[in-house]
Chains A and B, each alone.
Chain A
Amino acid sequence: MPISTQSAPVASNAHGTLKRIMLQGRYETLAMLGNGEQLIVAAVLPLLALIGLVFTGLLDDVAESPIDAAAPGVLALCVISTAFTGQGIATGFDRRYGVLRFLSTTPLGRAGLIYGKVVAVLTVLVLQVIVIGGISLLMGWRPAVAGIPAGIALLVLGAAAFTALGLLVAGTVRPEATLAITNLAWVLLAAVGGILFPSNRAPDYLQPFVDLLPSAALGDSLRSALISGSTSVSGILILLAWTIIAGFAATRWFKWN
């Protein structure tokens, strides 16, 4: 049969890339904030952890005051809550329900979807830092001023690494499995993965393994930045490596359908 096709290009009906990403970011942020279970993981549990750590004296040897020792780890916990557990579960179920397929046929596209999620993760993280940081300050937290820029950079880098890991899980296994894996990982990483407690508290036989985890890199580096104002190069390198590896793996193996 004779073939001729309509010749492109015709004026696009799509808004610009940045606008689409910000629109999707706002949409995903509102979806996260409107989800009760996500709010518990994102705000209520970190707050309970903060109060628990301050009043139990479990971190007495880490810094001069219990709140100085606890607050950086709780901020690290917020990163895992939002970037990994919350975002992973939401993405897993969106994949199940074909939402990712549908949105990728709109001008938003696959890349816009992912960047929209990153915008939402960072926005929620900012809100978490304001709430948790504000309450910590009221409880007497005095972070090392010199370490604040490094602390912000670590939070962003941690969010990148755990967003990539969350997408990798959500894009490769069933949503029920994503739910189980990301919740279990949240508990384990918080307790023995170097998030709430320094990684040197982990049992000796786990030590070399824990030190390479993105959670330990994030938790330990945040503590050294915000307690003593020092920058941990190895922590930053480990987080960067996890971001690159998980980002590559997610790009390679993420199943959209």
Chain B
Amino acid sequence: MSPSLVIEDLLKDFGPVPALDGRMVRVLHGISLKAEPGNVTTLLGANGAGKSTTLACAQGLVPANGGTVRLLGEDPYGASPALRSRVGVMLQDGGLPPSMRPIPLLRHVASFFQRPGDIDGLIERLGINEFATTSIRRLSGGQKQRVALAAALAGNPEVVFLDEPSAGLDPQSRQVVFDLINELRDAGLCIVLTTHLMEDAQRLSDYVYIINDGHNIAQGTVAELTAHAATETPVQAVTFNAATSLVLPALPEHLHLAESTPGHYRLDGVRTAADLAALTGWWSREDILPHALTMQPRTLEDVFLEIAEKGNHAN
């Protein structure tokens, strides 16, 4: 299926910045990505990595300074109402008028569309009835998030942008929101979301772009991203509990053993069986019988931290 969103070599500058003698600052250095219908495409990165700016360009809120952005075949900046009618947006700061109550706001947003979404269904599903009489100003962060998600879906969109959709949600609402996102994906929507939480990216994404400092630094399915690195380093760390303040042995240079908290040890850098033998050899010599031994598989977080680290060195 052809992608709903295609971004190629996107450049974005901010400024002029008075603190830098009025110079412009480049915040996106050539981001490229694609997002397909029926997929959750995730932009993963630390705060300030450029995820929201990338989304702002994709949503047409700000113009690109270079490269191309095509949303449903059009340039989203200055796009027609027809294009905007097919796209739903949930902003990171919500963008909801504080003095309004949630349901009249949702009905107002839905009124712009010929074929709006099922507002009553969304209200029910996202538990908005629980705080229907409260003005948005007085809602908790998680409640506002749920209203903003409903507002993004009010027009029955084909493409949905969700900027940090799980921020501020309690575990229960998080599950509700994740189930809804999965359902929308299964219904064929193109979902583009950002998160700085690896766990969310791992649970939701079909395809992940890791963004660091305005650069694409890695991309792939969650399985690809973790597997690719796994051929190099299948195990992220070996941890074990033993007596406190053991005298640590000399180990090969690529291994790092430390007592992270009293009685709790962590070995990083294990790549081969011989590395593990170096550890068990020390136990055998010193007659140490550790308990609670674990070998931690690599997660997306490890991959991310490693790649980000490499990226920082490269810069």
B-contacting residues of A (Cβ < 8 Å)? 1, 3-10, 12-15, 17, 20, 23, 27, 31, 34-35, 93-94, 97-99, 101-109, 112, 256-257
Contacts and interface: CB of A to CB of B under 8 A. Distances in A.
A257 B61 contact: yes
A106 B109 contact: yes
Given A6-B2, A8-B74, A106 B112 contact: yes
A3 B6 contact: yes
B109 A35 contact: no
B298 interface: no
B87 A105 contact: yes
Nearest to B113: A13
A109 B84 contact: yes
Interface in B47-77: 59-62, 70, 72-74
3 closest cross-chain pairs (CB), A and B: A102-B95, A12-B82, A14-B85
Interface stretch (B96-104, B122-130, B244-252, B256-264): B96-104
B93 A13 contact: no
B84 A31 contact: no
B12 to A, nearest CB: 13
A184 B151 CA distance: 36
A107 B113 CA distance: 8
Interface string B1-12: 011101010000
Interface majority SS (helix, strand, loop, mixed), chain A? loop
Given A97-B96, A107-B84, A5 B2 contact: yes
Interface string B202-217: 0000000000000000
A15 B109 CA distance: 12
Contacts of B94: 97-98, 102
A97 B91 contact: no
A109 B32 CA distance: 26
5 contacts: A6-B73, A8-B72, A31-B97, A98-B95, A103-B95
A178 B89 CA distance: 28
**Which of B32, B73, B155 has the most A CB atoms < 10 Å from its CB?**
B73
Contact of B82 (A9, A31, A99, A257): A9
Contact of A6 (B72, B100, B112, B115): B72
A103 to B, nearest CB: 8
B39 interface: no
A31 B99 contact: yes
Nearest to A94: B97
A98 B6 CA distance: 26
Contacts of B34: 1, 3
A107 B155 contact: yes
A123 B96 CA distance: 24
Nearest to A27: B108
Given A8-B72, A257-B62, A102 B113 contact: no
Nearest to B136: A97
Given A5-B2, A98-B95, A99-B97, A14 B73 contact: no
Nearest to A106: B112
B26 interface: no
Contacts of B83: 8
B111 interface: yes
A187 B96 CA distance: 31
B111 A105 contact: no
A14 B61 CA distance: 18
Contacts of A34: 99
Contact of B89 (A94, A99, A105): A105
Contacts of B114: 12-15
B97 A14 contact: no
A97 B6 contact: no
Contact of A102 (B4, B73, B86, B151): B151
Contacts of A35: 99
Contact of B112 (A5, A101, A108): A108
Contacts of B59: 105
B2 A14 contact: no
Nearest to B36: A6
A109 B151 CA distance: 15
Given A13-B156, A98-B94, A107 B112 contact: yes
A222 to B, nearest CB: 32
A40 to B, nearest CB: 16
A227 B89 CA distance: 53
A97 B113 CA distance: 23
Given A4-B2, A9-B82, A14-B81, A105 B61 contact: yes
B85 A12 contact: yes
